[in-house]
Structure 1
Amino acid sequence: MIKHPESSADTLKQAWQDLRADHPHMRIRDAAATLGVSEAELLATDCGNRVTRLREHWPALLSAVGTLGPVMALTRNAFAVHEKTGLYEDICPCGDFILITGHHIELCLSTGVWHSGFAVMEETHLGPRHSLQFFDSGGEAVHKIYLTEHSDAGLYRRLIDIFRADDQSPNLALPTDGAKPALGAIAPSKDLPEHWRRLLLADTTEAVVTGRIAVPALRELMLQLAELLLPIQVLVGNPGAMQLHDGPIQNLKITGPWFNVLDRDFNLHLNEMAVAGADIVQLTCGQQALTGLLIRGQNQQTIASVFGGYDETDGESVFWRDLLLALAVTGGS
């Protein structure tokens, strides 16, 4: 690893250019790790060129995203990437959170841990790609919003003009007092609506682990769910954002270490090399029982969660529950 703890932005930018010359397909996240800096610090070196620093008016900015039409929402952690294409229609402040719902989109954002945001233009083999990218105080990406071919590019340019920060210097100062969001995902605060609390409670001590399955059994379960077109809920998050898919999955593909769902409005990329297994958990929320699958990393952190389809009156899918309970009994080996 090449470290640049006190490098100027110009030096860091040159190092990035040199790295891209040798590795033209390297993603910025991997480039930042190689150079020993955060992704946000590396991105900021291009401010004034293809990158625009944004003012930290997150609720107003996210409301403006609702005018852009269909966009692709991306939320990730170290080992899973969750992508949904849809509309940011209903933006609702909820205590310390911002809840966003719309056609194919459902997000729970903890913007209190957001530190910086940028409008970004990247050159790709398909042409320029435009996005809004948000980072925490450690410079880690928490949420990104990409324009699609159906987005309103004119309104996007206007949004950038409105929310452009006065400071467009290529240096990004991150807190040095150690104030960094705790590892893990958003906690199930009482401020959140019942359905978000229900999903997040599965990853707390209120849930009881009733079984554990290995990676091959997890892959087989996902294939079975795709064949059945059984509606499920897939959740991926980090301390600043949780993103939900609610519906069936269909088009599955293995690419190297990555297990992928490649559906029209939903993509999931799961690094199986980082997965130690999956815990089957049960809990009671309100008057309803809930059965979930928590995909765990080598340090037992939750990488992603999978739940059955849920009806507010009847509760979770009985078929889903039976599938998981059968795995719990067999051990899923």
Structure 2
Amino acid sequence: MTKHPEFIADTLKQAWQDLRADHPHMRIRDAAATLGVSEAELLATDCGNRVTRLREHWPALLGAVGTLGPVMALTRNAFAVHEKTGLYEDICPCGDMVLISGHHIELCLSTGIWHSGFAVLEETHHGTRHSLQFFDTSGDAVHKIYLTEHSDAGLYRRLIDIFRADDQLQHLELPTDGTMSALDALAQAKDLPEHWRRLLLAETTEAEIADRITAPALREFMRQLAELLLPIQVLVCNHGAMQLHDGPIQNLKITGPWFNILDRGFNLHLNEMAVAGADIVQLTGGQRALTGLLVRDQNQQSIMSIFGGYDETNGENVLWRDLLKALPVIGPG
């Protein structure tokens, strides 16, 4: 006999409560993996309590985020977490993409593959935390937006009221068909700004691999960049979002397997245990030659990419290019 969705949701909710009782500090992403479900399915079990399902009007909702003031944007994949604090000021739909830029924020979101979104209230050891969280058709998180102490909490509550979905069931039905990735959608999108086109090339097969460096060499290179305060571009992608940091890095810290950048307004967390190395890639942006680093995991999948500062008049930063040339290489991977 087929189990009713409400029964499934109640069973999953109880399993999560039991897991949290034994592991109170376990993150929901890890809890979902332990329970064999997606993060979105697990989150949905709390709809009507601390979770509110949102209507799928993504461009309009993201536009409303611009009224909240400074927020923290989080985009992650399996091995890297990219966090930027700033303003969602300039919201520009581009086909199934939404391009967002503002003070310290640069995002390219493939909202055409987004499946569900939630407003979430969490109690953490740092206090109460409010966020908007978006998931793809597999139930994996593609982008999250967290309120900061400078965000407008009143407007946030109003946003939730406006975009609250009629369906607040605690069971989430995920589609079984595949969807286009953010990179595929980017490749088909027209009228993309030049810098997104340039970054897209680095994440595709159009980038020529010149050499490779080891994970320890990558760590040392990041230390060198921090000492020089050299402006760089750090990009982390997943199936539904691309998030960019454009500027110098400074405060580095190693915590267990994690290599961290802990700067004001920008945090990066990279799981070094997953890093097989970084490819030095070459490509052409417009009429200019560009070089960068594409950090790979053990399966040769991209974790993040790093480029030097770029000026539309002068092109790539010359010091960046010289630093890459001086890296100890091990040959193409």
Superposition TM-score, scaled by structure 2 size: 0.95
Q: Which residue of structure 1 lines up, in the alignment, with residue 137 of structure 2?
A: 137
Q: Which residue of structure 1 lines up, in the alignment, with residue 178 of structure 2?
A: 179
Matches within 5 A, 1:50-89: 50-89=50-89
**Range moving further from structure 2, 203-212 or 104-113:** 203-212
Tell me if the contact between 2:113 and 2:180 (Cα under 8 Å) persists in the aligned partners: yes
Q: Which residue of structure 2 lines up, in the alignment, with residue 308 of structure 1?
A: 308
For the residue of structure 2 that corresponds to 1:161, the secondary structure is helix
- State yes or no: 1:235 paired with 2:235: yes
For the residue of structure 2 that corresponds to 1:32, the secondary structure is helix
Give, as a single letter, the amino acid of the residue that structure 2 aligns with 1:197.
R
**Range moving further from structure 2, 323-332 or 257-266:** 323-332
Counterpart CA distance in 1 for 2:131 and 2:147 is 6
Matches within 5 A, 1:1-333: 8-176=8-176, 178-182=177-181, 187-191=186-190, 192-327=192-327
Task: Give the direction of change, closer, same or farther, for the CA distance of 1:44–1:211 in structure 2 (3 Å limit).
Answer: same
Residue 329 (structure 1) shift: 5.6
Task: Give the direction of change, closer, same or farther, for the CA distance of 1:103–1:289 in structure 2 (3 Å limit).
Answer: same
Give, as a single letter, the amino acid of the residue that structure 2 aligns with 1:247.
G
Task: Give the direction of change, closer, same or farther, for the CA distance of 1:97–1:328 in structure 2 (3 Å limit).
Answer: farther
- Please list every run of 5 or more consecutive structure 1 residues that lacks an aligned counterpart in the other structure: none
Tell me if the contact between 2:97 and 2:186 (Cα under 8 Å) persists in the aligned partners: no
Q: Give CA deviations for 1:27-78 in whole Å, capped at 9, x if unaligned.
A: 0000000000000000000000000000000010000000000000000001
Tell me if the contact between 2:182 and 2:240 (Cα under 8 Å) persists in the aligned partners: no
Task: Give the direction of change, closer, same or farther, for the CA distance of 1:125–1:173 in structure 2 (3 Å limit).
Answer: same
Counterpart CA distance in 2 for 1:233 and 1:279 is 16
- Please list every run of 5 or more consecutive structure 2 residues that lacks an aligned counterpart in the other structure: none
Residue 205 (structure 1) shift: 2.4
Tell me if the contact between 2:142 and 2:238 (Cα under 8 Å) persists in the aligned partners: yes
Superposition TM-score, scaled by structure 1 size: 0.95
Task: Give the direction of change, closer, same or farther, for the CA distance of 1:38–1:67 in structure 2 (3 Å limit).
Answer: same
Residue 249 (structure 1) shift: 0.3
Give, as a single letter, the amino acid of the residue that structure 1 aligns with 2:70.
P
For the residue of structure 2 that corresponds to 1:8, the secondary structure is helix
Counterpart CA distance in 2 for 1:78 and 1:323 is 28
Counterpart CA distance in 1 for 2:39 and 2:105 is 25
For the residue of structure 1 that corresponds to 2:158, the secondary structure is helix
Q: Over aligned residues, Cα RMSD in angstroms?
A: 1.8
Give, as a single letter, the amino acid of the residue that structure 2 aligns with 1:126.
H
Residue 327 (structure 1) shift: 1.6
Tell me if the contact between 1:210 and 1:328 (Cα under 8 Å) persists in the aligned partners: no
Between the two proteins, the alignment pairs up a number of residues equal to 328
Q: Give CA deviations for 1:97-132 in whole Å, capped at 9, x if unaligned.
A: 110000000000010010000000001122210000
**Range moving further from structure 2, 205-214 or 79-88:** 205-214
For the residue of structure 1 that corresponds to 2:327, the secondary structure is helix
Give, as a single letter, the amino acid of the residue that structure 2 aligns with 1:98.
V
Residue 239 (structure 1) shift: 1.5
Counterpart CA distance in 2 for 1:76 and 1:313 is 32
Tell me if the contact between 2:282 and 2:289 (Cα under 8 Å) persists in the aligned partners: yes
Residue 193 (structure 1) shift: 1.3
Tell me if the contact between 1:55 and 1:117 (Cα under 8 Å) persists in the aligned partners: yes
